[in-house]
Amino acid sequence: MEGLKFLLVFVVLALASSFASASDPSPLQDFCVAIKETDGGLNTLGISLARIDFAPYGSLNPPHTHPRATEILVVVESTLYVGFVTSNLANGDNRLITKVLNPGDVFVFPVGLIHFQLNVGKTNAVALASLSSQNPGVITIAGGQEGSRLSSETILDGQQQLEEHIY
C-alpha cells in the first residue's frame, strides 16, 4: 500500500512538471529604452521589413539566403521572376521552384533556402520583404565563393551542366 501511494505521488508530480514551460521565443530585447536620435520602428518585435527597388530590364537581387528567417515578398510595382532551391529531398535532387509575380502577388521563401528576385518588367519594380526575425542575417551565394580556392573554370563547368538540365 505504501508503494502504491509513492507511485501515485510520483506520477502526479511527473505529469505536473511536464506541463511547466518557461521560454522566450526569440525577442532580442524585452524592454527598449527610447533613443531620440534613432527611429526604432520595429525594434524588439522580432520582425524586419525592407523595401527593394529594382531597375527595369533584368535587375537582379542575386541568389542569397537568410539563415535565421523566413521571407515574405509582396510585389508593389512591375513584374518579378522569383524562386528558391529546395534542399535535401528524399531522392537527393534539389528542385528550383519559380514563379512570375505581378503587383499584389505574395511569395514565401522558407528559412535558410537559397532564393533570388529578378525584374522582368519594362519599368522600375518595387517589392516589400518582411522577415520573421529582427536579425535574419544574409549570405550572398556569389560572395561565399570568394576565398574558397574554387577555380572559375570549375564554377563555369558546373553552370553549363546546370543550364542543360533547366532549359
Average pLDDT over residues 72-87: 94
Q: Is 88 annotated as a binding residue?
A: no
- Is the pLDDT assigned to residue 66 strictly greater than 80? yes
Residue 72: pLDDT band with limits 50, 70, 90 = very high
Give this prediction's pTM: 0.64
Q: Is 146 annotated as a binding residue?
A: no
Domain definitions of the chain by residue range: 48-141
Tell me the average pLDDT of the chain. 79
Predicted pLDDT of residue 94? 83
Give the CATH class of 48-141. mainly beta
Predicted pLDDT of residue 165? 46
Q: Is 61 annotated as a binding residue?
A: yes
- Is the pLDDT assigned to residue 58 strictly greater than 60? yes
Q: Is 64 annotated as a binding residue?
A: yes
Distance CA 125, CA 77 (A): 5
Q: Is 115 annotated as a binding residue?
A: yes
DSSP per residue, the chain:
-HHHHHHHHHHHHHHHHHS------S-S-SS----TTS--TTTTTT-EEEEEEE-TTT-EEEEEE-TT--EEEEEEES-EEEEEE----TTS---EEEEEE-TT-EEEE-TT--EEEEE-SSS-EEEEEEESSSS---EEHHHHTTTS---HHHHHHHHHHHHHHH-
